Homo-oligomer: A and B are copies of this chain.
């Protein structure tokens, strides 16, 4: 069971935007792509998803770019995954077979747990901070 690289890219780029949250300048794609090592051509689509989902806002034209639509503490990991990868741990709604019902309900519990966990992480936690920074920046 793989996590898509699309979600990883989204997390990285959002973390980057979180770093500059509050700044008046907008970040543009090339810079974001460079800093977070994401293919620019692919990033276009990801940013589009995030924008349609209301996590970020954009402005076109010269001086255009992207910024978070809300403060980092108000953006959860759950929202990011849902937008970019669809529902968490989605499974076929069919409950065929003698054990279909039971298996489904158990996976539903697992999914609920995962949802709670991902809701507990917000973008502000993605900023590397304190001692760690000293070594890498």
Contacts and interface: CB of A to CB of B under 8 A. Distances in A.
Given A103-B15, A110-B118, A114-B114, A97 B35 contact: yes
Interface residues of A, number: 48
Contacts of A131: none
Residues of A contacting B: mostly: helix
Interface string A114-129: 1001100100011110
A50 interface: no
Given A89-B1, A90-B1, A113-B113, A77 B106 contact: yes
Interface of A: 1-5, 7-8, 11-12, 15-16, 19, 35-38, 77, 81, 85-92, 96-104, 106-107, 110, 113-114, 117-118, 121, 125-128, 136
